[in-house]
Structure 1
Amino acid sequence: MLEAILHGFILALGLILPLGVQNVFVFNQGATQSQFSRALPVIITASICDTLLISLAVLGVSMVVLEYEWLKTALLSSGICFLLYMGFVTWRSKPMMDQQDDKGSFSAKRQIVFAMSVSLLNPHAILDTVGVIGTSSLTYLGVEKIAFAVSCILVSWVWFGGLGIVGRMSGKLDKSGRFLFILNRISAIVMWGTAGFIGFKLI
C-alpha cells in the first residue's frame, strides 16, 4: 500500500512540475486576481479536470478512446486551435495593479472555460496522464490501485492550490505590473510553442 502511495506521489509530482500551459495559467490567474478567493475557480477546475483524467487513465477508459486515430487527430487539432487562441488573449491582456479594480482579471466563468480548455484540450497533459499514470497503474490491483490513483489526484489539488497562493503573493509584491506583463508574454509564448510542437507532430 505504502509503495503504491509513494509511487503515485512521485510520478504525479514529476509530471506536474515542468512549466506547461496549465501551470502558467493557474499561476497567472493567482497573480492577476485582487484576492486569492477570486482565483479559486481556476484552481478547482484544473484540479477537477486532472482528477477526471487520472481516474479515466487508471480505469483504462482513456486508453481505449485514444486507440482511434481519427479521434486522436481531432483532439490534437482542437488543442492547437485553443492554444493559439488562448495565447493571443493572454498576450493582449494587461494586468491591472489597482487592487480595487478587477477589470483586467478573468471572470469566474472565463477562468473555468480556459482552465477546462488547457486541461482537457491539451494533448500533452492527456497523453502524459494516459501513457504514464495509466500504464503505471496496471502494476496494482484493488485497494493498491485506488491508493495509487488517490495519491496522484491529491498531488494535483495541493499543487494547483499552492501555485495559486504563490501567484497571489507575487501579484502583491509586483506593484509596477512589470512582472505580470512579462508573465503574460511568457504564458503566450508557452501556449504558442506547445501548439507549434503539436502541429509539427501532426505533419
Structure 2
Amino acid sequence: MPAIEGFAIGLSMIIPIGAQNAFVLSNGIRRRHRLPIALSCAVSDMLLIGLGVAGAGALISSHPLLVDIARWGGVAFLLWYGLATLKRAWQGESMRLEGDDGRTLGMVLLTTLAVTWLNPHVYLDTVVLLGGLAAQQPDHSRYLFGAGAISASFVWFFSLAYGARLLAPLFTRPAAWRVLDLAVATIMFALAARLVLG
C-alpha cells in the first residue's frame, strides 16, 4: 500500500538525529512549548512533502542559485545555533527542567522555523527525495504515498516532543544538561561542515 510505504520511508528519513530533532528533544525534556514546536515541525514537513508530491523538487534542482542561498543560510544558522548551545553549556543556563528561560513563544517558534526552513537537507529529504519517490507511484497513489509520509512526520515529532519527558529523571543532574548541549552543538557544527563541504 502506498500510504504504508510513504509512512515507512518518511519515518526512516525523519528519525536520524539532526538539527530539528535535537531542538525538539531538548525542549521536550524541558517541557517547554512542546505542542507549538511539534506542530510547527510537522506542519512544515507537511507543506514541504506536499510541494514534493506536486513536483516542486525538479524546479528546485534546476535552479542552483536557490540551492546555494539555502546552503549558506543554513551554514550561518547552524553555526549561530551551535555557538548559542555551547554558551548555554558553559554557563549552565539549561540546567532547569521547568520554569522561565526568558524565551517567549514567538522566539521559540522563530527558532523552530529556522531550524526547519534554513536546513537545506530538509528540502532534499522532503521535496526532492520523497517527491521523487511519490512521482514513481502509479496513478493517484502518489498522494497516498505523500499522506503516509506526512503522517510519519506528525507521529514522530509529537512522540519526540512528548516522549522526551521520559528522559527528564536523567536530566536532574547538571552534567547531563551539559552533555546534551555539547552533543547538540556538535551536531550543529557537523551539519554546517557538511554543508560547507557540499
Alignment of 1:89-108 (within 5 A): 89-93=84-88, 94-97=93-96, 99=98, 101-103=99-101, 106-108=103-105
2:67 maps to what in 1? 72
Contact 1:30 1:171 survives alignment (8 Å): no
Secondary structure of the structure 2 residue equivalent to 1:19: coil
2:5 maps to what in 1? 7
User: Is 1:155 equivalent to 2:152 in the alignment?
Assistant: yes
**Partner residue of 1:122 out of 116, 119, 123:** 119
Give the superposition deviation at 1:134: 0.9
**Partner residue of 1:30 out of 22, 28, 31:** 28
Structure 1 vs Structure 2 CA RMSD = 1.7
Q: What letter is aligned with 1:164?
A: A
Residues 33 and 107 of structure 1: is their aligned pair in 2 closer, same or farther, counting only changes over 3 Å?
Answer: farther
Moved over 6 A (4+): none
For the residues of structure 1 that align with 2:30 and 2:175, how far apart are their CA atoms?
12
Q: TM-score when scaled to structure 2? A: 0.90
Count of aligned positions: 194
**Partner residue of 1:192 out of 158, 166, 189:** 189
**Partner residue of 1:41 out of 36, 39, 64:** 36
For the residues of structure 2 that align with 1:171 and 1:11, how far apart are their CA atoms?
30
Return 5+ residue gaps in structure 1 as ranges.
Answer: none
Identity %: 27
C-alpha deviations, 1:140-196, integer Å up to 9, x for none? 255422211111001001101110122222124421232222111111110111001
For the residues of structure 2 that align with 1:188 and 1:98, how far apart are their CA atoms?
19
Residues 69 and 85 of structure 1: is their aligned pair in 2 closer, same or farther, counting only changes over 3 Å?
Answer: same
C-alpha deviations, 1:105-164, integer Å up to 9, x for none? x43212211111111111112112233201111122554222111110010011011101
Between 23-32 and 173-182, the greater mean CA deviation after superposition: 173-182
